């Protein structure tokens, strides 16, 4: 299906992600329907859109009239049952951004299929669930696709496009072109656990947690090493507190289970305990750090030798994941580099970073860790071994 701005885009789920996606589509010129079962969520989304467009005007990025036109293009729908969603019959594409529960999403897709036109696209913003499992809930699975935005959707440039096993190839190309036209940077990902970003990024959190659990360094020191020495915008513990430990832990568990409990993706008991205690991060006032008014931020141990050892360990794990993603056809090397720089703001692409470190050095770090721990967690990608043997490049 070829898209144009005369076509209505539907979004179901008016939380932060859904509201953000609705804003992106409306700013691109589409009429938008935004639905949620919660009236409070609808009102928060409406207020958030008004505030966001006022900020656009304040920053000189649009006029009052243009901001008003964007807001006028968004229609809010309260309810998520078949009767409430009847207006979605006019949509060319519907993007669901509801709870990460496969059964709930499948039920929604089955309901939507009875409402929308036969050629309407059914898309999911899921970050970790199988698109094929969603397509299996409808009779015409060829029109189901993953369209994974990153939070906040109006700001973050990356969108992962994930065709399911039976998704029509032409449809995937058309959806990618549509999202490109919205001003986003799109990458094509295979329908595998975590897609590109949430799979490759796991060691940024998991290995940092392991280093802390072993008492090799505290959170502040690990964050300092990754941020100040590695150039990452935020350290792993700062970022987990920003994302929410409940969300970050749930994604790790989802990938771990979907990858048949591969040790490389094993969740941390430390993070589990924080979730159980309600220490979710910034949104709860306490996570790895205390966010109460007046709370002192712990000082890192600024030991460069220690910091570079921490950084080297985490980087080796990240590079290995990126190499393995190429090996298993998760995405092209170019899309993997784009995904990690545009989706999670890494300071450079991991494949290029691995080449700069030296593939042999990355492999030596992993082999030393595996020898010390005797854990499959540190096994090197077969592709990395071959590249080292052949004195090749990770990017090529």
Catalytic residues: 127, 148, 160, 198
Break the chain down into helix, strand, coil percent, rounded to 5. Answer: 55, 10, 35
Read off the tokens for 335. 């899309």
Q: How many helices (H) and strands (E) does the chain have?
A: 17, 8
Query: Where do the H-state alpha helices sit in the chain?
Result: 16-27, 39-58, 64-72, 102-113, 131-135, 169-181, 197-200, 202-213, 219-224, 236-243, 245-258, 269-277, 304-327, 333-343, 350-357, 359-373, 382-390
* Residue that is written with structure tokens 């970073």 in the block: 353
Task: Determine how many CB atoms are found less than 10 A away from the CB of residue 12.
Answer: 25
> Half-sphere exposure (CA, 13 Å, Cβ side) for 54?
6
The end-to-end CA distance of the chain, in Å, is: 34
> CA 304, 305, 306, 312: dihedral to nearest 10 degrees?
100
């Amino acid at each position: 299906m070829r898209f144009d701005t005369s076509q209505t885009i539907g979004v179901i789920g008016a939380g932060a992600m859904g509201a953000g996606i609705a804003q992106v589509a409306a700013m691109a010129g589409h009429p938008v329907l935004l639905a949620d079962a919660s009236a409070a969520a609808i009102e928060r989304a409406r207020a958030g859109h008004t505030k966001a467009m006022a900020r656009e005007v304040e920053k000189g990025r649009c006029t009052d009239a243009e901001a008003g036109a964007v807001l006028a293009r968004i229609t809010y729908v309260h309810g998520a049952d078949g009767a409430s969603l009847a207006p979605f019959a006019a949509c060319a594409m519907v993007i669901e951004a509801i709870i990460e529960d496969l059964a709930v999403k499948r039920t929604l897709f089955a309901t939507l299929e009875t409402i929308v036109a036969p050629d309407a696209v059914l898309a999911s913003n899921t970050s970790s669930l199988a698109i094929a499992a969603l397509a299996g809930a409808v009779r015409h699975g060829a029109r189901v696709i993953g369209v994974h935005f990153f939070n906040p959707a109006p700001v973050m440039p990356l969108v992962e496009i994930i065709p399911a096993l039976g998704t029509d190839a032409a449809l995937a190309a058309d959806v990618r072109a549509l999202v490109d036209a919205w001003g986003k940077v799109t990458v094509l990902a295979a329908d595998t656990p975590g897609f590109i970003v949430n799979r490759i990024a796991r060691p940024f959190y998991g290995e940092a947690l392991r280093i802390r659990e072993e008492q090799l360094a505290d959170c502040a020191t690990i964050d300092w090493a990754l941020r100040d020495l590695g150039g990452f915008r935020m350290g792993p513990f700062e970022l987990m507190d920003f994302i929410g430990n409940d969300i970050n832990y749930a994604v790790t568990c989802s990938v771990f289970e979907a990858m048949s409990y591969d040790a490389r993706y094993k969740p941390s008991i430390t993070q589990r305990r924080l979730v159980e205690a309600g220490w979710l991060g910034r949104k709860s006032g306490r996570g790895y750090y205390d966010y109460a008014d007046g709370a002192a931020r712990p000082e890192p141990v600024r030991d460069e030798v220690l910091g570079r050892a921490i950084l080297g360990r985490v980087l080796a794990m990240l590079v290995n994941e990126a190499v393995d993603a190429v090996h298993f056809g998760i995405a092209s090397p170019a899309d993997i580099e784009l995904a990690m720089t545009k989706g999670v703001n890494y300071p450079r692409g991991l494949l290029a970073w691995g080449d700069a470190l030296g593939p042999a050095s990355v492999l030596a770090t992993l082999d030393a860790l595996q020898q010390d721990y005797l854990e499959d967690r540190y096994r090197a990608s077969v592709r990395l071994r071959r590249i080292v043997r052949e004195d090749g490049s990770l990017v090529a």
